[in-house]
Chain A
Amino acid sequence: DAKTTQPNSMESNEEEPVHLPCNHSTISGTDYIHWYRQLPSQGPEYVIHGLTSNVNNRMASLAIAEDRKSSTLILHRATLRDAAVYYCILRDPLSEGGGADGLTFGKGTHLIIQP
């Protein structure tokens, strides 16, 4: 899987939007961009994924740059419950193993939410 780069930590205030950046300059044309988060003392949780177009779901929005070399996870109104480590991951479903060779987690971004 191609490599991603994320800031080690970010801080935001409760009820404000949060923009979590991810750089993936070596992304291939068939790599999907995935975001997972891990709350304290829990297993990772799927947040959102996309290929080229911006994506929205009940948890967040994913904005993908036109050249796909970067993306931003947007939490529209952060709550204390959003404090977690956020992981940006690239996966290619067409790769050997059908993309089922496991998620490659980096260090992620530790998001701190201030009340």
Chain B
Amino acid sequence: KAGVTQTPRYLIKTRGQQVTLSCSPISGHRSVSWYQQTPGQGLQFLFEYFSETQRNKGNFPGRFSGRQFSNSRSEMNVSTLELGDSALYLCASSLDRVYNEQFFGPGTRLTVL
């Protein structure tokens, strides 16, 4: 079974631009969560989607948004990029919202110049 895939793997943007990251969960998984990882703050939860609806959101500004499609694939968008948005963005999928282990993708490394 294929794992969680994320595209692109690397991205360079400049301040003020926006970016869209994509995540394809493991086949059959309906829950997709997004995390941001930085050296200073570590791994932080962004939001979780299930059945095309955002179910939970971490403590991030409204510039961070996402969506989930009917095939469970998910995208996250960051608008008006800031230098501090440079990070590894990780996507994780799980079978459903009742507690299950999360399977993480390799991440997208975003650099904001």
Contacts and interface: CB of A to CB of B under 8 A. Distances in A.
Contacts of B31: 100
A32 B45 CA distance: 18
A44 B46 CA distance: 15
Interface in B39-53: 42-48, 50
B42 A105 contact: yes
| Interface of chain B: mostly helix, strand, loop or mixed | strand
A43 B105 contact: yes
| Interface of chain A: mostly helix, strand, loop or mixed | loop
Measured as residues with beta carbon below 8 angstroms from the partner, the interface class of chain B is: 20 to 34
Given A44-B90, A93-B99, A107-B42, A100 B48 contact: yes
Interface of A: 32, 34, 42-46, 49, 87, 91, 93, 97-107
20 contacts: A43-B4, A43-B104, A44-B102, A87-B43, A93-B98, A93-B99, A97-B55, A98-B55, A99-B99, A100-B48, A100-B94, A100-B97, A101-B45, A102-B33, A102-B45, A102-B56, A102-B58, A103-B45, A105-B43, A105-B44
